[in-house]
Amino acid sequence: MEWMAWTWPTAVFFMIIATTLVVFTILAIKFPETPRTGVLRIETTRGDRLFITLLGSAFINLAWLGLLSSPQWGALIVSFCYAVAVFRWV
Amino acid sequence: MNKTVNQKAWFLILPVLLLVAFSAVIPLMTVVNYAFQDTFGNNKFFWAGLDWFRDMLESERMWDALGRQIAFSSIILAIEIPLGVFVALNMPKRGFWASLCLVLMSLPLLIPWNVVGTIWQIFGRVDIGLLGYTLDALGIDYNYTQGFYAAWATIIVMDVWHWTSLVALLAYAGLQSIPDAYYQAAKIDQASRWKVFRFIELPKMMGVLMIAILLRFMDSFMIYTEPFVVTGGGPGNSTTLLSIDLVKMALGQFDLGPAAAFSIMYYLVILLISYVFYTVMTNLDKREDS
């Protein structure tokens, strides 16, 4: 494992991602859903919305880092609002 | 009818999961770990935080390479898609000539990337290559090792030569699946050739064309071997596309941290565009079904 050069922050990051995936899998089994069409006019399931959220958050964080010199947790707040919006309207 | 719900079949995909873990997930995690650290070798790493990402976002070199990459992908798509459709429209529909065309068209697809690069590298040489020698004899100043335009023209023509057949074959498959009744109806209505193309052939080809665009975009956006063999990224940096620059940084300069940060951003861009294409494609299918 040493060659993978693990650090606590990156390990925590991956643990959060893995936990989210497990939670969403359990949700999908316990509470099956039908896809719905939102503002993007595409059919999405919870999994799709999670993917859009994660990918969008990555870009929000990069944009924050590149354009602003404010601390990075600001981007996390924006990402969180984005996530709520995606799960509500997409 | 009540179906019994049994999810045990999911366990059958465990071997694939294991394989993907070793071939993709673990390397990707390692790249993420590298992106946040600095190393001087010997497996000793130092925490660098977001520095590499900030460096890469401000690096002119990366934006230039990205610009060249977008230009390259757009140019080859703008040539290969219409050309492929044009070829497919003009291919014989059945019989001996159809088979011969199919075989001839698939030949370039079977050649490995590095061999394609070598073929064009020799083909374009002014001293021994047929193309370079002919152009030189005609008085055209062509030298892909020194001229910006010559280098770009060479790698673009090479890619068009290598991959237009893929688009043509996909479009041909799409065309073959159109029932004759559509053409007969068009004939009764005295539709012009253009109208037949615009309202029958193009809509019916849309699905396969989207696949062709996605495949060609992905492949060209990640292209490495062919331009590397022909121009090596030169003259200067004029044909240094994203992956060539990335390899230079990671293996040439051994800057693992910046290269890792760079490849994560590269990966995100590819992921985003592929997802958009995939969504458009699946939604087109659904619309056709309903």
Q: Give the span between the Cα atoms of B161 and B112, in whole angstroms.
A: 13
Q: Give the span between the Cα atoms of B45 and B33, in whole angstroms.
A: 10
CA of residue B224 relative to chain centroid, distance: 10
Q: What is the pLDDT of residue B159?
A: 94
Spatial neighbors of B176 by CB under 8 A, at least 6 apart, are B93
In the predicted model, residues of chain B with pLDDT beneath 70 are 1-5, 288-290
Q: Which two tokens stand for residue B265?
A: 């951003």
Q: Give the span between the Cα atoms of B236 and B90, in whole angstroms.
A: 41
Q: What is the pLDDT of residue B290?
A: 64
The reply to whether residue A7 touches residue B36, judged by beta carbons under 8 angstroms, is yes
What ipTM is given for this predicted complex? 0.90
Q: Assess whether pLDDT exceeds 90 at residue A54.
A: yes
Q: Which of B5, B32, B62, B262 to mutate to test the interface with A (most CBs of A within 10 A)?
A: B32
Q: What is the pLDDT of residue A16?
A: 94
- The domains of chain B, with CATH numbers, are 61-289 (1.10.3720.10)
The reply to whether residue A5 touches residue B272, judged by beta carbons under 8 angstroms, is no
Domain layout of chain A by residue ranges: 1-32, 36-90
Confidence of residue A12 (pLDDT cuts 50, 70, 90): very high
Q: State mean pLDDT over A61-79.
A: 88
* Residues of chain B found within 8 Å of residue A7, distances taken between Cβ atoms: 33, 36-37, 45, 47
Q: What is the pLDDT of residue B1?
A: 55
Is residue B287 within 8 Å of residue B70, measured between CB atoms?
no
Identify which of B32, B57, B272 has the shortest CB distance to residue A65. B57
* Residues of chain A found within 8 Å of residue B279, distances taken between Cβ atoms: 42
B interface toward A at CB cutoff 8 Å?
Answer: 7, 26, 29-30, 32-34, 36-37, 39, 43, 45, 47, 50, 53-54, 57-58, 265, 268, 271-272, 275, 279, 283, 286
Q: Which amino acid would we find at residue B149?
A: Y
